[in-house]
C-alpha cells in the first residue's frame, strides 16, 4: 500500500468507526499535508479515492465533507457472470441502433450515453492548435504521409507508452479513425469468417456487432465486475473451442468498470501465448484512472508480439477528432495494409494538432482535472443510487472510467425500464445490449460522467422509481 492509499485507509477507518460523521468537514489539503508529513498531491489522491468510493464529497470552494448515508451504499454485484460458454452466432438486430439513436438527443438525460461529458475537454485549446497545425501543414504531407499515420503523432504516442514503462516503437503504431476502427482492423487481420472469438460477458456491444458483421462466432466468458475475465473459464474455452482471438477490455471495462489486476493481466497474456491466441486489447479508458498511476495494459507483459493494443483520444482528450491507434505487435504490417485498403489514412490536420498538443505537455494537467471530476461525480452518483433505487440494488464502484453497472433486484426488465425512462426524457443502456444471448435483463449501464446537478439527481430519482415498479 502506498502513501495515498494508506492515508485513505486511515480516513475510511475514521468514517467507519464514526470518528468522522456524515456532514463533517475533512481537514483541508494543506492541514493534512502538514499534519501527516506528505505532499499535497498525496492528500489529493487520497481524497479522490475516498470520493470515488462514495465516502466523501467535494463541495465547490469549501472543501471535502463526509458523505451522507454512507452505510446505505449499494453492495457490489456478485463475483462473476455465468454465461453459457458455447459459441453463439449473433443477431444484434436493431436494438443497439435504436438505443444509440436515443442517446444522441441532447435534451435527454444521458445515463445511457457511451460518451463522456463534452464539457470535460480542452476544446478551445485544441481548436487553437488545429488552426495552427493546418496553417503549417506541408501540402506534400497530404500525399506522402499516408498510412500508417503522421510521424510526429506516432512518436508522441510511443513516448507516452515509454512513460508507462512500455517499449513500443513508433513504427509499430498505426493511426486509425478512432479505437473502433483499430479494433475492427485487428479483428479482420487475425480472423476469417466462421472463426470463434472470445469476449467478456457482459461485453461492449460494438464487439458483438463487429463479430456479427465479420461472420464470427462469439464465446462469452464469465467476467467479474471487479477483476475482469475469469481465467479458469478462459482456459476451458481455449481448449474446447480453439478461438482465433480474444477481444477484452482490461482497464475499466465497458460496461462493468472492472479493472484486471496486474498479476492477472500477466497470467492472461501467458495463457493466451501458450495457445498462440492473439489478444485484441481495448484500452480506451486506461487514462481515466482514479488511483495513483495508470494501470498497465496487458500489452506490458507481451513477449511474443501477440497483443494488439488499441486506444484513442476520444474518451480522454478530443472527442469528435476520431483519432485512435493500435500497436499491433507482430501484426503491425498486416494491420497497416488493412487500413490502407479500407480507409487509406486518417485526417492529417487532426493528427498534426494532437501531436502538437501532446508535445506541449498540457495533456497530464488536463487528465488530472478530468479524473478528479469523474471520481467526484461517481461518488455523488452512487450515493443517489443508494437513496433512490429499490432495496436489493447492487452497483459496481469502478476505480476509473465513467460507467456504473447496476443490478436491479430480479425480476426486472431493463429494456422496458429503458422505454419508460425515455418517456421521462432519460436514457439508460439496458443490460441485454451487452450480451450475445440477451442476458442481463435486470441490469443497466449508467454513465455517471456528466455534471452532477439537481436535474441529474432528479432524473436518477425518477429512474430509481421506474426500476422499482
Number of residues that bind its own copies (CB under 8 A): 59
Q: Which range of residues in 281-289, 337-345, 371-379, 406-414 is near its own copies by CB under 8 A?
A: 337-345
Least Å from the CB of residue 97 to its own copies:
6
Residues 292-331 as x/- pattern, contact with its own copies by CB under 8 A = ---------------------------xxxxx--------
**Residue 374's CB: how many other CB atoms inside 10 A?**
25
Residues 207-246 as x/- pattern, contact with its own copies by CB under 8 A = --xx--x-x-------------------------------
Residue with smaller CB distance to its own copies, 237 or 354: 354
Contact pick of 19, 79, 134, 242 for its own copies (by CB under 8 A): 134
425 contacts its own copies (rule: CB under 8 A): no
Least Å from the CB of residue 87 to its own copies:
18
Q: Which range of residues in 178-186, 256-264, 354-362, 453-461 is near its own copies by CB under 8 A?
A: 178-186
343 contacts its own copies (rule: CB under 8 A): yes
With beta carbons less than 8 A apart as the criterion, state whether 51 and 375 touch.
yes
Contact pick of 6, 14, 41, 342 for its own copies (by CB under 8 A): 342
Least Å from the CB of residue 421 to its own copies:
18
With beta carbons less than 8 A apart as the criterion, state whether 312 and 282 touch.
no
Q: Among residues 298, 310, 452, which one has the least CA distance to residue 372?
A: 452
Contact pick of 9, 38, 68, 146 for its own copies (by CB under 8 A): 146
140 contacts its own copies (rule: CB under 8 A): yes
Residue with smaller CB distance to its own copies, 11 or 182: 182
Residue with smaller CB distance to its own copies, 308 or 412: 308
Residue with smaller CB distance to its own copies, 209 or 437: 209
Residues 70-129 that bind its own copies (CB under 8 A): 97, 100, 104-106, 110, 113, 115, 118-119, 121, 123-124, 126-128
Least Å from the CB of residue 282 to its own copies:
14
**Residue 444's CB: how many other CB atoms inside 10 A?**
28
Contact pick of 142, 169, 240, 365 for its own copies (by CB under 8 A): 142
Least Å from the CB of residue 372 to its own copies:
19
- Residues in contact with its own copies by the rule CB under 8 A: 97, 100, 104-106, 110, 113, 115, 118-119, 121, 123-124, 126-128, 130-132, 134-135, 137, 139-144, 146, 177-178, 180-181, 184, 188, 193, 206, 209-210, 213, 215, 319-323, 337-338, 340-350
Amino acid at each position: 500500500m502506498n502513501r495515498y492509499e494508506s492515508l485513505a485507509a486511515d480516513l475510511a477507518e475514521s468514517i467507519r468507526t464514526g470518528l468522522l460523521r456524515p456532514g463533517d468537514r475533512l481537514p483541508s489539503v494543506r492541514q493534512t499535508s502538514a499534519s501527516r508529513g506528505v505532499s499535497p498531491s498525496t492528500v489529493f489522491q487520497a481524497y479522490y479515492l475516498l470520493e470515488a468510493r462514495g465516502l466523501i464529497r467535494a463541495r465547490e470552494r469549501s472543501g471535502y465533507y463526509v458523505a451522507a448515508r454512507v452505510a446505505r451504499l449499494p453492495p457490489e454485484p456478485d463475483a462473476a457472470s455465468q454465461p453459457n460458454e458455447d459459441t453463439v452466432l449473433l443477431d444484434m438486430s436493431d436494438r443497439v441502433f435504436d438505443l444509440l439513436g436515443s442517446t444522441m438527443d441532447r435534451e435527454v438525460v444521458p445515463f445511457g450515453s457511451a460518451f463522456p461529458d463534452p464539457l470535460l475537454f480542452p476544446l478551445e485549446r485544441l481548436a487553437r492548435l488545429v488552426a495552427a497545425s493546418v496553417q503549417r501543414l506541408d501540402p506534400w504531407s497530404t500525399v506522402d504521409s499516408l498510412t500508417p499515420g503522421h510521424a510526429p503523432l506516432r512518436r508522441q504516442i510511443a513516448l507516452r507508452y515509454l512513460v508507462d514503462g512500455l517499449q513500443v516503437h513508433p513504427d509499430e503504431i498505426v493511426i486509425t479513425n478512432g479505437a473502433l476502427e483499430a479494433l475492427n482492423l485487428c479483428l479482420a487481420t487475425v480472423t476469417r469468417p466462421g472463426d470463434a472469438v472470445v469476449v467478456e460477458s457482459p461485453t461492449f456491444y460494438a464487439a458483438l456487432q463487429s463479430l456479427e458483421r465479420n461472420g464470427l462466432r462469439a464465446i462469452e466468458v464469465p467476467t467479474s465486475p471487479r477483476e475482469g475475465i475469469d481465467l479458469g473459464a478462459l482456459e476451458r474455452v481455449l481448449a474446447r473451442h480453439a478461438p482465433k482471438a480474444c477481444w477484452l477490455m482490461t482497464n475499466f471495462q465497458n460496461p462493468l468498470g472492472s479493472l484486471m489486476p496486474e498479476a492477472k493481466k500477466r497470467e492472461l497474456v501467458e495463457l493466451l501465448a501458450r495457445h498462440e491466441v492473439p489478444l485484441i486489447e481495448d484500452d480506451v479508458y486506461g487514462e481515466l484512472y482514479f488511483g495513483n498511476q495508470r494501470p498497465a495494459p496487458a500489452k506490458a507483459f507481451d513477449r511474443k508480439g501477440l497483443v494488439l493494443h488499441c486506444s484513442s483520444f476520444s474518451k480522454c482528450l478530443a472527442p469528435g477528432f476520431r483519432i485512435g491507434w493500435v500497436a499491433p505487435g507482430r501484426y503491425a504490417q498486416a494491420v497497416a495494409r488493412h487500413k490502407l485498403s479500407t480507409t487509406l489514412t486518417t485526417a492529417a490536420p487532426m493528427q498534426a494538432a494532437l501531436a502538437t498538443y501532446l508535445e506541449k505537455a498540457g495533456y497530464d494537467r488536463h487528465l488530472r482535472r478530468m479524473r478528479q471530476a469523474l471520481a467526484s461525480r461517481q461518488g455523488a452518483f452512487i450515493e443517489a443510487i443508494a437513496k433512490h433505487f429499490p432495496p436489493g440494488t447492487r452497483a459496481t464502484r469502478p476505480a476509473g472510467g465513467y460507467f456504473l453497472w447496476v443490478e436491479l433486484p430480479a425480476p426486472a426488465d431493463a429494456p422496458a425500464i429503458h422505454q419508460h425512462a425515455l418517456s421521462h426524457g432519460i436514457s439508460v443502456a439496458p443490460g441485454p445490449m451487452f450480451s450475445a444471448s440477451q442476458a442481463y435483463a435486470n441490469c443497466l449501464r449508467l454513465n455517471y460522467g456528466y455534471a452532477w446537478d439537481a436535474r441529474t439527481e432528479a432524473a436518477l430519482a425518477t429512474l430509481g422509481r421506474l426500476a422499482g415498479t
